Structure 1
Amino acid sequence: MSVKLAPNRWRIATLYTACINADTDEYYNSNYLAQSFRDTTMVALTPIPKIKNLDKLLMHCQRRRHPAKHNIICAGERSDTLYFIIKGSVTILIEDEDGREMIIAYLNTGDFFGELGLFEQAGKEQERSAWVRAKVECEVAEISYAKFRELAQQDPDILYALSGQIAQRLRDTTRKVGDLAFFDVTGRVARCLLDLCKQPDAMTHPDGMQIKVTRQEIGRIVGCSREMVGRVLKDLEERNLVHVKGKTMVVFGTR
């Protein structure tokens, strides 16, 4: 099957149908997935949105530096502070009672986090529901909910900037739920690789985009074992869709 997409459009959407009902039509979906990878001639990088009057907001924030792998927010803590990433990247994750982790999202320079309690009644905020861990060394600005509400009344554009990010995360979460429901593991891993190609730490490569990620981390993103990820990567490599060497992977045709 040949798939023709308009130039300069995101090709990631083709993966949605690539693995639907994979158990009942494995041959069709396998070939469609391969075609989807080959058609991914461009991975659009989402530019960091400019926040109006950001300097004014940062004047009221306390800045902190966090080393890589440091927990900035712990699940169960009191919600009373909003955070803004000045520099670096963080991982949002949840864990079960047995300590197994699932990665919800990566956030980067220009992103807010810790915002849920901001929209709850003052004094009745729920506890933090997720962990936020520095992916690399980070510089983060912190501001109390009370102070942010005060600034938002004076300058609503700040609140609109935050609301826009929340809306995008809701879209991403909706898509991820759809992936878990409709994709098999191969489709979820493929989607994960394409998403990682859009992260700031992805590097251009003559054959596509180069990323560094462990099989365990991919498993924590898509909800499967490290061994299953290894089998999927081997399959994708045999189809000449990726090249894998340790933690370094090149996703072909994504530059």
Structure 2
Amino acid sequence: MLAVNTQSSGLAANRPLGNPFPQDPNAPESPHLDAFLSAAHRRKYPAKSTLIYAGDKSDSIYFILKGSVTVLVEDESGREIIVAYLNKGDFFGEMPLFLDDNDPRTAWVKAKTECEVAELSYAKFREVAHKHTELIYAVSNQMAERLRRTTQKVSDLAFLDVTGRVARTLLDLTKQPDAMTHPDGMQIKITRQEIGRIVGCSREMVGRVLKTLVEQGLVSVKGKTMVVYGTR
């Protein structure tokens, strides 16, 4: 079974990774989310379209009703790092709500799949939250969880080699909604380039790591379809 060994830079079978992308425990039937959705505008986006541009004015919070989005940042030369995948039940664009300034957006948000979101202005959000204080806790809970995941990612970049980071990423991806059950584990679809954008390395380096994992009998790879053995 593929696992991450945090005591060294390699792989081990002693520490399977938990789900780093948990779904929001709040169901849409919750009164505070009902109030949010009643006040929000619903918008649909095709896959690969851009919902938020880095540098845009920060004035709205979003809630994912359907589908998945990718949060990413890029440098001046256009190199990208994927920060997170967000799914149904997740808020995004919330951070400026809790800041005194109104700086522009710092990250891009793009539709990973066809998706539907509920968009609510910050001013309207504050009105709704004044009557439904649970809404603040729901958003704050997700912010705290993302901070935990960001801390883990910083730790990975500092203490895991590329093989360890790729292994952790594959395990993370088996917990995403679009992962499929396979007789030998979980099947995912992702390109080497996209894995590189998550772990911070080249596509060629990802290819070499995947070849090693295949040789070790931990995964199978056919194009962008991969099976991570022993996962569920």
TM-score above 0.5, yes or no: yes
Q: CA deviation at 1:160?
A: 0.3
Matched, 1:78 2:57: yes
Counting matched residue pairs gives 227
State the alpha-carbon separation in 1 of the partners of residues 148 and 113 from structure 2. Answer: 25
Q: Alignment partner of 1:199: what SS?
A: coil
Q: Alignment partner of 1:251: what SS?
A: strand
Matched, 1:168 2:158: no
Please identify the structure whose Cα radius of gyration is greater.
1
Matched, 1:180 2:180: no
State the alpha-carbon separation in 2 of the partners of residues 137 and 192 from structure 1. Answer: 23
State the alpha-carbon separation in 1 of the partners of residues 128 and 44 from structure 2. Answer: 24
Q: Alignment partner of 1:141: what SS?
A: strand
The equivalent of 2:6 in structure 1 is: 16
Q: Alignment partner of 1:173: what SS?
A: helix
State the alpha-carbon separation in 2 of the partners of residues 168 and 18 from structure 1. Answer: 26
The equivalent of 1:93 in structure 2 is: 72
Runs of 4+ in 1 over 3 A off after TM superposition: 42-48
| Structure 1: segments with no counterpart, 5+ residues | 1-10, 20-28
Matched, 1:35 2:13: yes
Would you say the 8 A contact 1:62–1:143 is kept in 2? yes
The equivalent of 1:104 in structure 2 is: 83
The equivalences for 1:146-165 within 5 A come to 146-165=123-142
The alignment yields a C-alpha RMSD, in angstroms, of 1.7
Instruction: Find the partner of 1:133 among 104, 110, 117.
Output: 110
Instruction: Find the partner of 2:40 among 61, 67, 72.
Output: 61
Deviations 1:72-111, CA, capped at 9 Å, x for gaps:
0000000000000010100000011111111000000000
The TM-score normalised by the length of structure 2 is: 0.93
Q: CA deviation at 1:150?
A: 1.2
The equivalent of 1:198 in structure 2 is: 175
Letter in 2 for 1:68: A
The TM-score normalised by the length of structure 1 is: 0.85
Letter in 1 for 2:121: S
What percentage of residue pairs aligned between the two structures are identical?
A: 63
State the alpha-carbon separation in 2 of the partners of residues 119 and 47 from structure 1. Answer: 22
| Structure 2: segments with no counterpart, 5+ residues | none
State the alpha-carbon separation in 1 of the partners of residues 192 and 72 from structure 2. Answer: 17
Q: CA deviation at 1:16?
A: 2.2
Deviations 1:129-152, CA, capped at 9 Å, x for gaps:
000000000101000001111111
Would you say the 8 A contact 2:69–2:111 is kept in 1? yes
Q: CA deviation at 1:49?
A: 1.0
The equivalences for 1:202-221 within 5 A come to 202-221=179-198
